[in-house]
Structure 1
Amino acid sequence: MSHKKKLRSQEWFGGNDKMGFVHRSWLRNQGYPDDYFRGRPVIGICNTWSELTPCNGHLRDIAEVVKKGVLEAGGVPFEFPVMSLGETIMRPTTMLFRNLASMDVEESIRANPLDGIILLTGCDKTTPSLIMGACSVDLPTLVVPGGPMLNGKFRGGEIGSGSFNWQIKAKKDTEEFTDEDFLEAEICAARSAGHCNTMGTASTMATMAETLGLTLPGASSIPAVDARKKAMAQLSGRRIVEMVKNDLKLSDILVREAFENAIVVNAAVGGSTNFIIHLQAIAGRMGVPLELEDFDRIGRHVPLLVNLMPSGKYLMEDYFYAGGLGVVMNELGDLLHGQLMTANGRHLADNYVNARCYNREVIVSRDQPLNPAAGIAVLKGNLCENGAVIKPSAATPKLMQHRGKAVVFESMEDYHARIDEPDLDIDADSVIVLKGVGPKGYPGMPEVGNVDLPRKLTLQGVKDMVRISDGRMSGTAYGTVVLHVSPESTIGGTLALVQDGDEIELDVERRMLQLHVSDEELAARRANWQAPDPMATRGYVRIYLDHVEQADRGADLDVLVGKSGAKVDRDLH
């Protein structure tokens, strides 16, 4: 893959004509020397820094370090902003805007004189959205993850960012936590720059990027404030210049086997269920066939090797000190396609031959796994004709085979209004069913699937129940929660027809989710069902509603599926 062709940036800067004059002269107002425009590789640094995205708040500093590496390698760095998705701040959900951010990335790259791309990522959706957008252009591209924050410290113990959130209601109800207690925990939970320090979606996405071969080895788990993060960023700046010279593009790395590797590793680290919906969207942008069933078939018998919240005990800082992803890669061994090309120009397996484990409490050996089969399970049945998912490693074992009466909430508003009513007809064996939170329903498919249990049951000591919805849940969450039910209720999937008292059977071992209502009764209910009014009539949300695919296809916009490559359209000035 030696680089013979003219640099893409020279389509802008190389001409001694009117437009060459325009493209160069306006940039000179920043004080750039002439050799910036005379054949040096131009590297775009795609930055999701924003003060409204706290997980990415340090990326302005990281960008400067990347620039240093680019310059050292003979490239020219140009930083540019794209839409930043702050998981903890944005409403109604960042998932509504993942595809919009990917469009921002794609068109920003395509429209500008860039030869290679550095993606600065961190918070949950910033990683997949940037990769999706870059895939649609297919230039040499390298991901620099922002890294997790340090462990939270609370009253002599560890507190995981995100996972503690899901305990707040129960702690108030059963442990008599006061407002002062929660203020102290709030201050202790996020004590440094970086994204969530659990194996939530942000860490899962960083792990995914490294496993796919899109980062330098070891980049995914370095804490945001560790000096080694800056060193890795500088080395990434150097490496992207070499990738341009060798014309090592995303399509050379993101082959089908790379996606299979990502599925295996996600199971081994106890990664987020959101992994499925994002990896499918990335595969769709590359034109790589990837079905929902592949996640179960490939990951089903992969052992859980990483003891991190929410599936375990420890946090990302501990994982890094224990040896990080390289140890996991070596343990998995023959379960991976080790001969795939990665961004550093070496094969995947060769990148981790020197990895060593320094804490077997955090990363266990393959012959002594925490769970012998930890992959995300894909369910089928009349309640989810196109599939649903559940994360066994975060669920209660005794509920993995369960039959109970449905308690139905038609929307999040309905849930909030009634869940704590003293006379709500619900017990520990009931199945909570939440509708209207799928891709079109909310809209945007929010992380609400792991809804809190009713207060009257938590006071009785109930800690988990089967919950079913067409929404998602945070990667930091846990529980026996069935997610991504497809087709969603808002477009008339069977979930829309469930009524209070209906019997629902969950059998994870058999990969089955069944509504025990006759076909005749369901047909009668369907005849009386009416689709809700669209959630928007204008703007991006209307476009989203018109074009978003269902969860089992990755919830991308149908018009964005499939890559088109980095074209330079005719200059019409």
Structure 2
Amino acid sequence: MPLRSHDWFGRTGKDGFIYRAWMKNQGFPHHLFEGKPVIGICNTFSEFTPCNAHFRELAEAVKRGVWEAGGFPLEFPVMSLGECQIKPTAMLFRNLASMDVEESIRGNSIDGVILLCGCDKTTPSLVMGACSVDLPTIVLSGGPMLAGRYQGRKIGTSDLWRFAEDFKTGKMSQKEFVEAEACMARSQGHCAVMGTASTMAAMVESLGLALPDNATIPASDSRRKVLAHLTGMRAVELAKQNIKPSDILTRQAFENAIMVNAALGGSTNFIIHLMAIAGRIGVDLSLDDFDTLSAKIPLLANLQPSGEHFVEDLFYAGGLPAIIRELRSVLNNDAMTINGYSLGENCAEAQCHDRSVIASIDEPFKPESGVAVLRGNLCPNGAVLKPSAASPELMQHTGRAVVFENIDDYKARIDDPDLDVDPSCVLVLKNVGPRGYPGMPEVGNMQLPAKILAQGVHDMVRISDGRMSGTGFGTVVLHVSPEAAVGGNLAFVQDGDLITLDVENRRLHLHVSDEELAGRLARFKPIDLGYNRGYVNLYIRHVTQAHEGADLDFLRGSSGSVVKRDSH
């Protein structure tokens, strides 16, 4: 099969002159345009995305690999989403970034592409965009940062929530808070715990889109650069062989990713991103698959926030290959991966070097893992909860609702001494879903009222149509669908309503009659979001609900049409 880039650089006459001449102002000799595979390096470097701030250096290692394998590397930037910087939430722009990636790949003389990603939304957005074009693609993650050190102990992003509680109750001073923040992010890389960034890195490795050990090599470890070099080499072979994402991303690959994520105790955000990727590549995946496939998988990784260790510890203990080998009795081991070997072959000789970090499937760290998909009149299309990060005593609970209509209402009243709340209550936050915020922010793990924390209580049942940081924890019900902003029953919950959470039976029930709910629906008025232009307006009009991946409806379905706009 002729290289796609030949349609640019292989032309004679005026067109060939135009395509080659301006490229040569960068010092490229003519022979590079004579049949070498052009490998696009899709780079999400940005100083506003600290997790990816080392990507200039990482890209140079990638280029060395591409050159060695006989390819022609060309780096290009795409929109970068810094989780802790961009407002109102990076999730609002995930789909926009995916469109940037799709059109950048489609519109340029690229034979194969390397996706350089790390921070939470950069990985799914790049994979989504690449899937919509379906050119040969391989993923390279930036790697986790080293665990922080504060007052003689290791800390990571999950400790932020503990520090925030201590600061709120006066156990930690502002001076100590600043000291801790200087200690936490002490090296390049994304979050050191099994938050969303590391979950996404594990996702692409278990899907087969990245080389073994992609998920866990620390960003500051020289072996991350070696992996980058090897990734560059492999990208050239993929382009020559025309191995595309659609060849790797089968139903079996998605099943593997779900089961591996369960064993890791990965972020609940995994669900919404994997659903979106499946929607782009055309694989039939439902919310219930996450429950049924993870139900038989125990928690094997003793990592924060569900455990105590950090992702660098997982690497030293054997990395993701060791986790995958432990799961070999349940995984689709024949699923092919991007290096030409099956998932089972890649991990056949992997070893565990530390059972305190990686437990065996026969003696797991915790019996509960993965996600519980809840149903009921409060979430007809589903809601999710992470059992490994929840409190066992709250997994079956009935309490009266304390309702916050939106995030501003929550911030204004949560610490009001007169708030009518006790530890048995259920905190309900509305209008933080895909459309309602808009963008579905990570506010679902609401910080508890100050007067509840003062009683020594650190967990309550919390329910919202929003998301939670992968670094968070607690008995938190998320992704309630339909969301409040579109008239889901969550919109009609009132203070004092009784709500039952029954995780064992996968039930979330609002104790209000159908007749009463119908009356509340009749009085419902959608909130005015106030956006009437630009991308946000487009997003509000076209975003799907959480159980469908919160993608834009017109982007779903594999295009398989890279050639459609290749004419000149």
- Into which bin does the TM-score normalised by the smaller protein fall? over 0.9
Residues 68 and 233, structure 2, Cα contact 8 Å, conserved in 1: yes
**Equivalent runs, 1:235-250 vs 2, <5 Å:** 235-250=230-245
Q: Tell me which of 172, 178, 181 is aligned to 2:173.
A: 178
Task: Classify the secondary structure of the residue corresponding to 1:136.
Answer: helix
Deviation at 1:104, TM superposition (A): 0.3
1:107 maps to 2:103: yes
Worse-matched range after superposition: 13-22 or 216-225: 13-22
Q: Tell me which of 479, 482, 504 is aligned to 1:484.
A: 479
Query: In the aligned structure 2, how far is the partner of 1:132 from the partner of 1:467?
Result: 31
1:31 maps to 2:23: no
Q: Report what 2:79 is aligned to.
A: 83
Q: What value does the CA root-mean-square deviation take over the aligned residues? A: 0.9
Q: Report what 2:455 is aligned to.
A: 460
Instruction: After superposition, give the CA deviation of every residue in 1:339-397 in whole Å (9 maximum; x if it has no partner).
Output: 11101011110001221111110001111111223120000000001000000000000
Q: Tell me which of 334, 340, 343 is aligned to 1:348.
A: 343
**Equivalent runs, 1:216-255 vs 2, <5 Å:** 216-255=211-250
Deviation at 1:563, TM superposition (A): 1.5
Deviation at 1:78, TM superposition (A): 0.3
Q: Report what 2:435 is aligned to.
A: 440
Q: Tell me which of 418, 423, 436 is aligned to 2:418.
A: 423
Deviation at 1:174, TM superposition (A): 4.1
Q: Report what 2:526 is aligned to.
A: 531
Residues 443 and 535, structure 1, Cα contact 8 Å, conserved in 2: no
Q: Report what 2:325 is aligned to.
A: 330
Deviation at 1:164, TM superposition (A): 1.6
Deviation at 1:218, TM superposition (A): 1.1
Query: In the aligned structure 1, how far is the partner of 2:427 from the partner of 2:217?
Result: 39
Which amino acid is the alignment partner of residue 8 of structure 1? R
Residues 169 and 450, structure 2, Cα contact 8 Å, conserved in 1: no
Query: In the aligned structure 2, how far is the partner of 1:174 from the partner of 1:352?
Result: 47
Residues 262 and 297, structure 2, Cα contact 8 Å, conserved in 1: yes
Deviation at 1:570, TM superposition (A): 5.6
Instruction: After superposition, give the CA deviation of every residue in 1:311-341 in whole Å (9 maximum; x if it has no partner).
Output: 0000111111111101111111121000111
Deviation at 1:571, TM superposition (A): 4.4
Query: In the aligned structure 2, how far is the partner of 1:386 from the partner of 1:378?
Result: 10
**Equivalent runs, 1:285-324 vs 2, <5 Å:** 285-324=280-319
Query: In the aligned structure 1, how far is the partner of 2:219 from the partner of 2:167?
Result: 32
Q: Report what 1:387 is aligned to.
A: 382
Residues 301 and 372, structure 1, Cα contact 8 Å, conserved in 2: no
Identity score, percent: 62
Query: In the aligned structure 1, how far is the partner of 2:536 from the partner of 2:116?
Result: 26
Q: Report what 1:494 is aligned to.
A: 489
1:205 maps to 2:200: yes
TM-score, normalised to structure 2, is 0.99
Instruction: After superposition, give the CA deviation of every residue in 1:384-436 in whole Å (9 maximum; x if it has no partner).
Output: 01000000000000000000000000000000111111111000000000001
Which amino acid is the alignment partner of residue 479 of structure 1? G
1:135 maps to 2:131: yes
Query: In the aligned structure 1, how far is the partner of 2:440 from the partner of 2:168?
Result: 28
Query: In the aligned structure 2, how far is the partner of 1:381 from the partner of 1:8?
Result: 51
Residues 102 and 130, structure 1, Cα contact 8 Å, conserved in 2: yes
**Equivalent runs, 1:542-553 vs 2, <5 Å:** 542-553=537-548
Runs of 4+ in 1 over 4 A off after TM superposition: none
1:62 maps to 2:21: no
Q: Report what 2:43 is aligned to.
A: 47
Instruction: After superposition, give the CA deviation of every residue in 1:469-528 in whole Å (9 maximum; x if it has no partner).
Output: 000000000000000000000010000000000000000000000000011111111101
TM-score, normalised to structure 1, is 0.98
Which amino acid is the alignment partner of residue 39 of structure 2? I
Which amino acid is the alignment partner of residue 419 of structure 1? I
Q: Report what 2:151 is aligned to.
A: 155
Task: Classify the secondary structure of the residue corresponding to 1:133.
Answer: helix
Query: In the aligned structure 1, how far is the partner of 2:171 from the partner of 2:40?
Result: 52
Residues 465 and 479, structure 2, Cα contact 8 Å, conserved in 1: yes
Instruction: After superposition, give the CA deviation of every residue in 1:259-295 in whole Å (9 maximum; x if it has no partner).
Output: 0000000000000000000000000000100000110
Mark the CA change 1:404 to 1:144 in structure 2 (over 3 Å): closer, same or farther. same
Q: Report what 2:536 is aligned to.
A: 541
Instruction: After superposition, give the CA deviation of every residue in 1:55-96 in whole Å (9 maximum; x if it has no partner).
Output: 000001000110010000000000000000000111110000
Worse-matched range after superposition: 21-30 or 393-402: 21-30
Residues 379 and 480, structure 2, Cα contact 8 Å, conserved in 1: yes
1:362 maps to 2:357: yes
Which amino acid is the alignment partner of residue 554 of structure 2? V
Task: Classify the secondary structure of the residue corresponding to 2:76.
Answer: strand
Task: Classify the secondary structure of the residue corresponding to 1:513.
Answer: strand
- Give the gaps of 5 or more residues in structure 1: none
Query: In the aligned structure 1, how far is the partner of 2:187 from the partner of 2:385?
Result: 32
Residues 426 and 460, structure 2, Cα contact 8 Å, conserved in 1: yes
1:404 maps to 2:399: yes
1:559 maps to 2:554: yes
Query: In the aligned structure 2, how far is the partner of 1:362 from the partner of 1:87?
Result: 27
Q: Tell me which of 366, 369, 375 is aligned to 2:370.
A: 375
Q: What is the aligned residue count?
A: 567
Residues 167 and 177, structure 2, Cα contact 8 Å, conserved in 1: no
1:472 maps to 2:467: yes
1:513 maps to 2:508: yes
Query: In the aligned structure 1, how far is the partner of 2:165 from the partner of 2:17?
Result: 65
Residues 297 and 370, structure 2, Cα contact 8 Å, conserved in 1: yes
**Equivalent runs, 1:180-199 vs 2, <5 Å:** 180-199=175-194
Residues 384 and 494, structure 1, Cα contact 8 Å, conserved in 2: yes
Query: In the aligned structure 2, how far is the partner of 1:51 from the partner of 1:568?
Result: 35
Residues 299 and 368, structure 2, Cα contact 8 Å, conserved in 1: yes
Q: Report what 2:122 is aligned to.
A: 126
Residues 110 and 568, structure 1, Cα contact 8 Å, conserved in 2: no
